[in-house]
Every structure is written in structure tokens, then in C-alpha cells.
């Protein structure tokens, strides 16, 4: 399992504000420890800070203050050039994912290419990932014109093909019908059990949070509602 002997994430003294935000929203977090191979659900109302925290965990947003350690490495340590390398092991699938022009296969191959995965491995990885999201054989389909649910599943397959240490999901089944959503949940859960992937996901569905996550963190107005408390 990834990261044995230490946390997957350790956040301390975090403060983040969106540049130029008119509403004055600030995200603040005293501390958060996430164990490797665990699943954490983020719940709370719209605007609570769930997506902001996912962006911080994906190392796509840099806090104005505080420290983000990912498997023991400070992603934003001054004077180093390791941030792009560290960031490759944390993959975020957004609520409205962006797909590149071209085919589904082109989309799945992009991240593999960027991360230097040997090309002979691509076909097997793509085939396996598309089967997991119940879109087998879609490699040659055009990405343009897919439904919102199909695009979300392709984005999840693109992330799964990378086999990241941390998989971060913003409302992973919001655009997917209920029966298929439960099966996608099973895929996510399998990633935790079999691959030791660390999963953090946001949801408005408390039942989903309870089914999928070992811990649930409630956010409100950019803060943990009950500091240090998990459900």
C-alpha cells in the first residue's frame, strides 16, 4: 500500500482565498491528516469549501499560508522544483470534467504520455479503465457530443488509467443515473481495497458518503464545522 509509515496528506495552518473574489470567501483549516488507502467524504452545503479543499489536495491551488505534505513531501516547499513531479500522483476529477478534442482513447492516452508511462502499456490500461466505468471498447469514440454522464465516466476512466496514489472526486456520480452510480461507487471502493488508492470525494448525498467513506468531514463557510471531528 502507498505511503506506509506516514500519512497520505498532512495539512497544517491552511489559509486560502480566491484571488479577486468579491464575496470575501476564505478557506481555513488548522490541521487535517488523511491516511494512505483510506476514503474520506467531504459534505456540506454549496459554497462550504469542498471543491476548494479538493483543489488544495490536488496541488492545483497554493495556500496563502500553511503546509501541504503529500506522502511526506512538501509540495510547495520554497526553493525546490518538485511540485510538478509530486502533483502527478494526485488526480482530480471535477464535477464538470473537461475532455480534450479527439477520441476517448486520445483523452485517456494524454495523461499516460505526460507521466512517461511506456506506450506498450497504454492499451491495456485504457481497456481496463473503460471496462470499469462500463464503457468497454469506446477508445475510438469521439469525445465531442458525449452526454454529461458519459463525459464524467470517461474522466473517471482517464484518472483510473493513471493509477494515482490519490484520487480526488468532486461529486463523482452527480450526472449518472442511480443504478449505474451505485456500480461506479463499487469501482471507487475497489480502488481503495485493491490498489491502496487514497480517495477523497465531495458529495451532497449522506447515504453515499456513509457507504463509500471510512470518515466523513463536514464543511461549512470555509471551515470544518466541528474542528477535528469526523463522523
Which cell is 59 given?
Answer: 496541488
pLDDT at residue 227 tops 50: no
How does the average pLDDT of the chain come out, rounded? Answer: 91
* Single pTM value for the model: 0.91
* pLDDT tens sequence across 165-223: 999 999 999 889 989 999 999 999 988 888 899 999 999 999 999 999 999 999 999 99
Taking each helix axis as running N to C, give the angle between helix 148-162 and helix 122-132, from 0 to 180 degrees, rounded to the nearest 10: 130
Q: What domains sit in the chain, N to C, each tagged with a CATH number?
A: 1-89+164-231 (3.40.50.300), 103-162 (no CATH)
Q: What is the mean pLDDT of residues 27-41?
A: 96
Amino acid 127: pLDDT: 97
Rounded distance, CA 122 to CA 113, Å? 9
Average pLDDT over residues 113-133: 96
Q: What pLDDT shows up at residue 53?
A: 97
The residue ranking higher by pLDDT, 79 or 22, is 79
- According to the model, what pLDDT value does residue 2 have? 44
Q: How far is CA 42 from CA 34, 77, 171, in A?
A: 12, 26, 10
The confidence band for 226, taking pLDDT boundaries of 50, 70 and 90, is low
Task: Average the pLDDT over 124-140 and give the result.
Answer: 96
21, pLDDT greater than 70? no
Query: Any idea which residue has 471535477 for its cell?
Result: 94
Q: How high is the pLDDT of residue 22?
A: 61
Distance between CA atoms of residues 134 and 137, nearest Å: 9
pLDDT on residue 25: 86
Name residues whose C-beta falls within 8 Å of residue 45's C-beta, 6 or more positions apart in sequence: 220
Amino acid at each position: 500500500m502507498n505511503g506506509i509509515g506516514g500519512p497520505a496528506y498532512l495539512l497544517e495552518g491552511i489559509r486560502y482565498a480566491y484571488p479577486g473574489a468579491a464575496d470575501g470567501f476564505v478557506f481555513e483549516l488548522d490541521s487535517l491528516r488523511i491516511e494512505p488507502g483510506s476514503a474520506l467524504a467531504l459534505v456540506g452545503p454549496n459554497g462550504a469549501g469542498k471543491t476548494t479543499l479538493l483543489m488544495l489536495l490536488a496541488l492545483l491551488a497554493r495556500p496563502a499560508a500553511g503546509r501541504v505534505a503529500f506522502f511526506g513531501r512538501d509540495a510547495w516547499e520554497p526553493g525546490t522544483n518538485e511540485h510538478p513531479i509530486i502533483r502527478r500522483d494526485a488526480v482530480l476529477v471535477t464535477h464538470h470534467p473537461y475532455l480534450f478534442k479527439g477520441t476517448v482513447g486520445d483523452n485517456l492516452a494524454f495523461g499516460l504520455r505526460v507521466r512517461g508511462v511506456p506506450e506498450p502499456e497504454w492499451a491495456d490500461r485504457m481497456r481496463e479503465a473503460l471496462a470499469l466505468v462500463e464503457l468497454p471498447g469506446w477508445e475510438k469514440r469521439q469525445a465531442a457530443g458525449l452526454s454529461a454522464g458519459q463525459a464524467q465516466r470517461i474522466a473517471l476512466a482517464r484518472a483510473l488509467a493513471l493509477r494515482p496514489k490519490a484520487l480526488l472526486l468532486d461529486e463523482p456520480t452527480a450526472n449518472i443515473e442511480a443504478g449505474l452510480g451505485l456500480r461506479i461507487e463499487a469501482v471507487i471502493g475497489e480502488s481503495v481495497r485493491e490498489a491502496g488508492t487514497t480517495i477523497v470525494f465531495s458529495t451532497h448525498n449522506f447515504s453515499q458518503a456513509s457507504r463509500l467513506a471510512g470518515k466523513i468531514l463536514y464543511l461549512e463557510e470555509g471551515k470544518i464545522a466541528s474542528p477535528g471531528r469526523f463522523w
